[in-house]
Amino acid sequence: MNDEIPYITGLRSVVANYDAFIVDLWGVVYEDKRLCFGVFNALSQLSDEGKKVIFLSNSPYRSSDMIKILERMGVKRYLFYGVLTAGELIYHEMQRRVSPFFANLGRKCFHVGPESFWQSFADSGYVCVPNIDEADFIFVTGTFNAQDSLDKYDPFFKLCLSRRLPMVCACPDPVVIKEGIPHMAPGALAAQYQKIGGSVFWRGKPDPAVFSYCVEGAEVDKSRIAVIGDGVQTDIRGANLAGLDALFVAGGIHAKDLGINRGQQPDPDRVFSLLCQYECTAKAVLPAFVW
């Protein structure tokens, strides 16, 4: 069954099959605000081929902030059609207050995460309070410490539950890779809080709706869209749920699980096992986001 998933060296092998690509950012396009090897060339080639590239990220940054970050790394605006982030989706949910979750939500939040992430929401009409006793809800964009383990949050979660505080998670990713090392991400906190009875609202991959938002106005047939990502639980599963072809980047967040470095082709059996773990499938496997 492993032979059913082709292993390709780069995008040139499949580019003729698609008109648009929904591309993950962290782990595929960049890590620690540095472009991954071969990315600029791949984006340039896709642009020359007239393909639309839409970046879809579970980052808590708003889309406009992410565009600035990409431009600082050398990704010029003409190289991509658009950007959609989890932070942007959450911002609009907070503004519209249409969802029942937000309809009666107070305006005071206790923020968990770097101050830089909160800046994206500073004009949202919500206020960050320093004391959890003043908060109406918990707003999660990061962790208290990059080296934290989940059990360290037990006292915090119990306090939140005792006050029946809902949680808004602006980054659904459970893990993020920094300098090749996996670190716990906000999605893990949200999942744990939900598991013990907390009320949680989050938006982002693998929700199939966000993939549809990406291509609104792009005028591209669904059968001609491929999702490129390194997260099986988020990118690949989300693509499958959305009915889109998935191209799995093996040299990203799962590189250690697969026993490879970026740019290396993984063992087919290990890839198959990983995909089966999350009940996913991929149209092709490539070592990195390269041409």
pLDDT in tens, the chain (291 residues): 445 799 999 999 999 999 999 999 999 999 888 999 999 999 999 999 999 999 999 999 999 999 999 999 999 999 999 999 999 999 999 999 999 999 989 999 999 999 989 999 999 999 999 999 999 999 999 998 767 788 999 999 999 999 999 999 999 999 887 777 778 899 999 999 999 999 999 999 999 999 999 888 888 999 999 999 999 999 999 999 999 999 999 988 898 889 888 888 899 999 999 999 999 999 999 999 999
DSSP 8-state secondary structure symbol assigned to residue 286? E
Query: Is 2-58+206-286 CATH 3.40.50.1000?
Result: yes
CATH class of 93-202: alpha beta
**Cβ atoms of residues 186 and 140 within 8 Å:** yes
The residues, ordered by sequence, that sit 6+ positions from 229 with a Cβ below 8 Å of its Cβ are 23, 24, 28, 205, 235, 236, 238, 239, 246, 247, 248, 249, 252
Nearest to 169, CA basis, from 75, 272, 85, 86: 86
In this structure, the number of other CB atoms found within 10 A of the CB of residue 241 comes to 15
What are the start and end residues of each CATH 3.40.50.1000 domain in the chain? Answer: 2-58+206-286, 93-202
**Cβ atoms of residues 206 and 223 within 8 Å:** no
